Amino acid sequence: MVNRNDVAHRAGVSVAVVSYVLNDGPRPVSDTSRQKVLRAIEELDYRPNRVASALRSRRTWSIGLVVPDNSNPFFAQLAHAIEDDAFSRGYSLLLGNASGDRAREQNYLETFQDRRVDGLIVVSNRPSAELARNYDAAVPLVVVSDHSVAGLPSVSTVKADNSGGARNATEHLVRHGHRRIACLLGPRDSAPAIERHAGWKQALGDAGLDAAADLVRWTTFTRSAGHLSAVDLLSGANPPSAVFAATDHQAFGVLRAAADLGLRVPDDVAVIGFDGIAEADYSVPRLATVKQPVTDIAARAVELLLRDRRDTVGVHEVFPLTLLARGSCGCPDPRSTSSGQTVAATAVG
């Protein structure tokens, strides 16, 4: 088997220099020497012993990611973006799907920590105080979607401006002339759902409209829940003329409900979702949605996870969102070319 001595001999450098190149430190290596080592590695088809390297460096070059439900297109998109960014930095990603089960989420946390991953990213809709009870502070942690990580001052958080995005969506529906706007949300203990409810309520209050309790449905972030809730709302004695859904997943359920009830979108009921998943561009009409900057959120989460471990104070960042006004809210639907590319979409900040 080819070893580091062989690589060093072929490159004409010391074994220590080969080690510095493979481990990206701890000492700098000149570009000339680095290129010699990389060329020798390629010529000899050398594959480092990652297990031995991990034991020496105390790094596994792996990151654990736990998501609430990877069947949800938004979480699948976010996981893919995190994996891409981690891979570009030389890290492998271990994915755990909690499937909405808190015990399962805890199990993944413990399993990844036992495997000594170099860091954990947890995308969680539950109160993050529960994370503190299952977390080993020796493993860096970044939480996506919540900013209140109680008892964990060193933990960084990354999230979208849930309240602001919901407020903008509701204000947009008000500008279309709607006065009775329903709100579909997730579980009552979900931080994003609570914040999106607050944004919807604020927008109605600012417009002098009633955020009536009968317009709100606390449910789950699924298409079926969106469908059932919308059927209930739209078939009532005093149905809303517009619906803001806390996720695109739920909004697709609303579109299906409208069709089942013989209602036209947006003429009889306008719909705006939240997340900006790719599928929103393929419904009929196209789904208006509040788009999250998934790539930026993913890159920042990985960056914060891998920052200098001597930084003991957590960083908390909120990303602004963009409202994509499309056919389902009453705006002109963007056209597509013969290749399927969108020609003109209306974006409202």
Residue pLDDT, tens place only, 206-264? 999 999 999 999 999 999 999 999 999 999 899 999 999 999 999 999 999 999 999 99
Two structure tokens written together for 27:
């000492």
Q: List own/partner pairs for 311-315 with CB under 8 A and 24 or more apart.
A: 312/153, 312/154, 313/153, 313/154, 314/149, 314/152, 314/153, 314/154, 314/155, 314/156, 314/157, 315/156, 315/157
Please, which residues bridge with residue 318 across strands?
159
- Rounded CA-CA distance 345/227 in Å is 26
Q: What is the pTM of this model?
A: 0.79
145 with 232, same domain: the answer is no
166 with 286, same domain: the answer is yes
CA 59 to chain centre: 26
To 10 degrees, the CA torsion angle through 75, 79, 80, 81?
A: 100
Backbone phi, then psi, for 63, in 5-degree steps? -125, 135
113 with 86, same domain: the answer is yes
Question: What 8-state DSSP symbol labels residue 336?
Answer: B
Please give the span between the terminal C-alpha atoms of the chain, in angstroms, as a whole number.
Answer: 58
Question: Residue 173 belongs to a domain with what CATH number?
Answer: 3.40.50.2300
- CA neighbor of 291 nearest in space, from 248, 335, 232, 228: 248
Two structure tokens written together for 224:
């079926």
Q: Which residues of 204-220 are buried (b: 16+ CB within 10 A; e: fewer)?
A: beeeebebeeebbbbbb
Q: Supply the pLDDT for residue 345.
A: 45
Domain encompassing residue 303:
62-160+295-320
122 with 265, same domain: the answer is no
* Contact of 44 with 58, CB cutoff 8 Å: no
Q: Supply the pLDDT for residue 55.
A: 43
22 with 53, same domain: the answer is yes
Question: What 8-state DSSP symbol labels residue 215?
Answer: G
**Element (DSSP H or E) covering residue 323:** strand 322-325
Q: Supply the pLDDT for residue 42.
A: 87
- CA neighbor of 189 nearest in space, from 148, 151, 135: 148
Q: Supply the pLDDT for residue 61.
A: 84
**Element (DSSP H or E) covering residue 156:** strand 156-160
Question: Residue 44 belongs to a domain with what CATH number?
Answer: 1.10.260.40
- Of 40, 57, 74, at which residue does a domain stop? 57
23 with 120, same domain: the answer is no
- Rounded CA-CA distance 4/22 in Å is 10
119 with 155, same domain: the answer is yes
85 with 149, same domain: the answer is yes
Tell the burial category of 132 from Cβ atoms under 10 Å away from its Cβ (0-12, 13-18, 19+).
Answer: middle
Overall number of domains in the chain: 3
12 with 112, same domain: the answer is no
237 with 334, same domain: the answer is yes
168 with 216, same domain: the answer is yes
Please, which residues bridge with residue 144 across strands?
123, 158
Q: Supply the pLDDT for residue 171.
A: 98
250 with 339, same domain: the answer is yes
* Contact of 127 with 195, CB cutoff 8 Å: no
pLDDT per residue as tens, the chain (349 positions): 788 888 899 999 998 888 888 777 678 889 999 999 999 988 888 876 654 554 454 667 899 999 988 888 999 999 999 999 999 888 899 999 988 788 888 888 888 888 888 889 999 776 555 665 656 667 888 989 765 666 677 788 899 999 999 999 999 999 999 999 999 999 998 889 999 999 999 999 999 999 999 999 999 999 999 999 999 999 989 999 999 999 999 999 999 999 999 999 999 999 999 999 999 999 999 999 999 999 999 999 999 998 866 567 788 899 999 999 999 999 998 775 444 445 444 444 3
